[in-house]
Structure 1
Amino acid sequence: MARELVWTGFMSLDGVMDSPGGESEGHDGGGWVFDVEFSEEAYSLKSEELEDTAALMFGRRSYEAFAPIWPGSEDHAAYKEIPKYVVSSTLGEDALVDGWGPITVLRSTEDVAALKEQDGGGIFIHGSPTLGLRLAEAGLIDRYNLLVFPVLLGAGKSVFPRTDPGKQKLRLRDADSYANGVAKLVYEVVR
């Protein structure tokens, strides 16, 4: 049975997931997650994901952003020892951090497809919009775990194709909304 590949992340109402943490991430409207009143309940999806996460996957840029922080983060301690995969044609093995469990570099979309065919549980991609888009276009994403924030950004990276890839049907698996305007939407890709 193929492993489930899940893209999970924060997104604006207009589908932008670029720079939720700050302008330093590249988008002029960066930091939009922190413009919305914090509600622990709205972030419950992140703790729910822990039960299903058997591995993490990152694109190179997201890996380089998370790798200095997550290994020592108390909030991400449950992820410390699980396998991690970085999809990059340029990242060298010497750039991998120590003390963060097993990390494997995958060089292509085909490597990701082969990994999905192996035994094991769910593989979760946090952020990594360029990787998410590439894998979505290749038909490899099985589920989207979205926290949609009440903001319109107008431009920026999206995990969804902006060209005409043909219709992709989704099935709503779970949904909720919170007092701060954030909506949880969990969609399964229908094949």
Structure 2
Amino acid sequence: MRTLIVTEFISLDGVIDSPGGGPHPRAGWTFKDVPFVEEAYEIKGREQDEAGALLLGRVSYDEFAPVWPTMDEFAEYNAMPKYVVSSTLSDPEWNNTQVLRSLDEVAKLKEGEGGNILVHGSGTLAKGLADAGLVDRYHLLVFPILLGDGKRLFGGGDPYTRLDLVEHEAYSNGVVKAVFDVKR
């Protein structure tokens, strides 16, 4: 059984919208509003090294696919299998990408062999995965910012889930790394 990890940049009030750019009025809040401290991002390199596959929603796929293949720092992601959960995408152009039509197909993917399945961004997908009981772990970099409005990772439905804190660290720029396993 593979481990499905949701990894997010998240504001203190739970917003995950447009951390590097996008439609949110404060888009780019991770690098515009908080000083860069290299060690705070160590987990991102570790995620890439330990991942066996990348799982994305359609919106994140459309944002990442034209950019990540041109970036040397994402070489491992570009080479590994990628899966996009979409009811409309038919011919993905990013190499080694397969379309999954449902969360049932994600569940089957988890049952197979291989390394971690990493969900980057993809807030709507992450919520759906959590609601379906498919998330095993959360990697959160919590930024010391309150954004108010925007897409949130948690909220709505019946969100009751027990989590175990398995790793944490605070950095000089106020960012806090929090890694949680979903308790079953």
Scaled to the shorter chain, the TM-score interval is over 0.9
Who is 1:29 aligned against? 26
Q: Normalising by the residue count of structure 2, what TM-score does the alignment of the two structures yield?
A: 0.96
Answer yes or no: is the 8 Å Cα contact 2:131–2:159 preserved in 1: no
Residue-pair matches, total: 183
The alpha-carbon deviation at position 8 of structure 1 amounts to 0.5
Who is 1:128 aligned against? 122
Q: How does 1:7-156 map to 2 (within 5 A)?
A: 7-22=6-21, 25-34=22-31, 35-93=33-91, 96-98=92-94, 100=95, 102-156=96-150
Between the aligned partners of 2:147 and 2:75, the Cα distance in structure 1 is 32
1:181 aligns with 2:174: yes
The alpha-carbon deviation at position 164 of structure 1 amounts to 4.4
Which SS does the other structure have where 2:139 is aligned? strand
Between the aligned partners of 2:146 and 2:159, the Cα distance in structure 1 is 25
- Which residue among 147, 153, 158 is the counterpart of 1:159? 153
The amino acid across from 1:26 in the alignment is P
Where has structure 1 moved over 3 Å in runs of 4 or more? none
Answer yes or no: is the 8 Å Cα contact 2:49–2:76 preserved in 1: no
Between the aligned partners of 1:113 and 1:14, the Cα distance in structure 2 is 30
Which SS does the other structure have where 2:119 is aligned? strand
The answer for unaligned runs of 5 or more in structure 2 is none
Which SS does the other structure have where 2:166 is aligned? strand
Deviation track 1:32-64 (CA, whole Å, cap 9, x = no partner) reads: 111100111111110111232000011001001
- Which residue among 160, 169, 188 is the counterpart of 2:162? 169
Between the aligned partners of 1:188 and 1:85, the Cα distance in structure 2 is 22
Q: Normalising by the residue count of structure 1, what TM-score does the alignment of the two structures yield?
A: 0.92
Judged with a 3 Å threshold, the aligned counterparts in structure 2 of structure 1 residues 109 and 90 are, in CA distance, closer, same or farther, namely same
Between the aligned partners of 1:9 and 1:61, the Cα distance in structure 2 is 15
Who is 1:6 aligned against? 5
The amino acid across from 1:72 in the alignment is T
